[in-house]
């Protein structure tokens, strides 16, 4: 049995900005096992919310792969992402994500 809840491999996220491209993550690798307690900490603007948006399938990575319960999210269409989110994300994770979105 696979205990990996979220597996991120070689994640890169780049945004276009007036001053050029901004790269938040470059070759980020994370494995979150079922039952893990995870805290994202860092200064304002370090990419905490952006990483949560990516893990919640609200944004697309520029490069890399995000797997949720061993299901790759790279080429999922919007309807399949919604079904995956409904089935795989616990309610408390959704509440945290929506709270963070409202704070912006």
**Domain spans, the chain:** 4-103
- Write the pLDDT tens digit of every residue in 11-60: 999 989 898 999 988 999 999 888 888 888 889 888 888 888 888 777 88
Examine the pLDDT at 84 and tell me if it is beyond 80: no
Encode 42-67: b = buried (16+ Cβ within 10 Å), e = exposed.
eeeeebbbbbbbbbbbeeebbebebb
Longest pairwise C-alpha distance within the chain: 47
Gyration radius of the chain's alpha carbons: 14
pTM listed for this prediction = 0.72
What's the rounded Cα separation, in Å, for the pair 37 and 59? 23
**Residues 69 and 31: beta-carbon distance below 8 Å:** no
- Write down the pLDDT at residue 38: 81
pLDDT given at position 95 = 55
Pick the CATH number of 4-103 from 3.20.10.10, 3.40.50.300, 3.40.50.150, 3.40.1030.10: 3.40.50.300
> From CA 17, how far away is CA 74, in angstroms rounded?
24
């Amino acid at each position: 049995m696979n205990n990996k809840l979220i597996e991120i491999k070689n994640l890169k996220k780049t945004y276009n900005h007036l001053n050029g491209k901004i790269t938040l993550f470059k070759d980020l690798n994370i494995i979150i096992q079922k039952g893990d307690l995870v805290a994202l900490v860092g200064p304002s603007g370090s990419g905490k919310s952006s990483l949560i948006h990516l893990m919640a399938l609200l944004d697309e990575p520029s490069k890399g792969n995000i797997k949720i319960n061993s299901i790759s999210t790279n080429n999922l269409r919007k309807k399949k992402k919604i079904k995956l989110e409904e089935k795989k994300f616990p309610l408390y994770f959704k509440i945290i994500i929506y709270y963070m979105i409202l704070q912006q």
